[in-house]
Amino acid sequence: MPTPRLDDLRRHAVARSLFAPTSLGEAVQRLGGFVQADPLRAPARAQDLTLRHRVRDYRVGDLERRYPRSGLQEDFFINYGFVSPELRALMHPRRARRVWDATRQRQAREVLAVVADLGEAHPADVDAALGHGKVKNWFGGDSRLSTELLDGLHYRGHLNVLRRDKGTRVYGLAAPWAPPADPQAAMDAMADVLVQKYAPLPAASLSQLVSMLYAAAYQWVDLRKPTLARAKARLAHAKVDGTDWFWPADEDPTRGWRIPARVRLLAPFDPVVWDRRRFELLWGWAYRFEAYTPAAQRVRGHYALPLLWRDAVIGWGNLKWRDGRLDADLGYVAGRPPSDPAFATALDDELTRFQAFMDA
């Protein structure tokens, strides 16, 4: 294989991730078995914005509507999101970084008993049954102890999320987990998920992602270093413009990936743009997620969506949904849109697709 150029890596990154739309299950598998979720709706949630490019005829809210029969589960991987059964089985039974004391363990057992009795448990029902009261949460506010315990039991694999009721998780008991026979093999498989989802990766980003596996499987936190070394040994590798890059060994970044003349507005957490280090290397400018930045300090907007034209991220869009119509405020790194007439046509097509996606 010839040594790729940065242009090759950029086309590889776009083409391998933005595959032809397929079924929901197949799309999630091609994304490694994990779709990151975010509660903000601006104008749609990140999981919907990610899947609309990859699932045939996808409409806003489809994942939530299909979730109970999809086979997917809400869970925490390196971030919170939706995971395949195969990926979830690699992480559980999971040990949490924070160890509960005897009192919390007793209260957690009480919560599990109430969930078992109810079958489908809304946090308000559990709180009404137990009356645990409030506790301080990690950001200094007040939360219901029952809600905190439900979250903790879900993270530890004792509960499943059955569905959402107006955005609130409804829980049921999870079946007991059989631990993976080979923890190192499980960690290797999780590293492969990360590479499948985010490759090609600069070395520093690969290291960062593998280090984040402590959240997925804290019981094997000490295996992160050998997991990284083993991943580097089996992945294809090249030094490009002074940076070491890694990608799956059966892929060839130089093969001449075809990139259509298409505009796409991407979620801030879309795998094409998720790695901000890689983003700057591939496209030469810094994209930042500013939803939690004070308004006066924002550069591109509250929920700016990266704007991809062919294989170049050339700007961003802040989109609002008002009275059944899409309002798009676009900005460009160069200060103006491309003069190519094909861009204007492709942009209109993307906004039309976005309108249909929202008009569910």
CB 157 within 8 A of CB 172: no
pLDDT of residue 1: 76
Q: Is the pLDDT of residue 264 over 90?
A: yes
Confidence of residue 151 (pLDDT cuts 50, 70, 90): very high
Looking at the predicted structure, is the pLDDT value of residue 133 above 90?
no
Q: Tell me, what's the pLDDT at 256?
A: 85
Is the per-residue pLDDT at 78 higher than 70? Answer: yes
- Does position 221 have pLDDT exceeding 60, yes or no? yes
In this prediction, residue 143 carries a pLDDT of 73
Q: How many angstroms separate the CA atoms of 10 and 257, rounded?
A: 10
Confidence (pLDDT) at 125: 94
Kindly tell me if the per-residue pLDDT of 70 is higher than 60. Answer: yes
- The pLDDT score that the predictor gives to residue 131 is 82
**Can you tell me the mean pLDDT for 156-167?**
96
Residues 274, 275, 278: CA angle, nearest 5 degrees: 135
pLDDT of residue 208: 98
CB burial of residue 98 (10 Å; 0-12, 13-18, 19+): exposed
Query: What pLDDT is stored for residue 241 in this prediction?
Result: 97
What Rg value do the Cα atoms of the chain yield, rounded?
Answer: 22
Confidence of residue 138 (pLDDT cuts 50, 70, 90): low
pLDDT above 70 for 139: no
Domains of the chain, earliest start first: 102-173 (1.10.10), 263-358 (no CATH)
The tokens for 292 are 């939690």
> Tens digits of per-residue pLDDT, 88-111?
999 999 999 999 999 999 999 999
